[in-house]
Amino acid sequence: MDEDRLVEIETRLAFQEDTLQQLNDVICRQQDQIDRLAARAEALRGQLGEIAAKLPDEEGEDEKPPHY
């Protein structure tokens, strides 16, 4: 009886180790995706800053273009 119990415990342990490895793989993939998304968000912030810098200031909106 003790041997059956030991086999059951070893089997459970093996399944738990496999489950932990699968969960770790998922977490690693999610972290990679988060890192890529954060880098993309930062790039978009930079692009938005460049676009905003090219827009006229609010004070300059009342000014007529030079050809008027």
- pTM strictly above 0.75: no
- Cβ neighbors of 63 (< 8 A, separation 6 or more) are 56
4-8, 33-37, 53-57: which range is least confident on average? Answer: 53-57
The answer to whether residue 30 sits within a structural domain is yes
- Please give the residue range of the domain that contains residue 37: 19-43
The answer to whether residue 33 sits within a structural domain is yes
Amino acid 63: pLDDT: 64
The answer to whether residue 11 sits within a structural domain is no
The count of structural domains within the chain is 1
pLDDT at 60 over 80: no
pLDDT above 90 coverage of the chain, percent: 75
Dist CA 9 CA 2 (whole Å): 11
pLDDT at 61 over 70: no
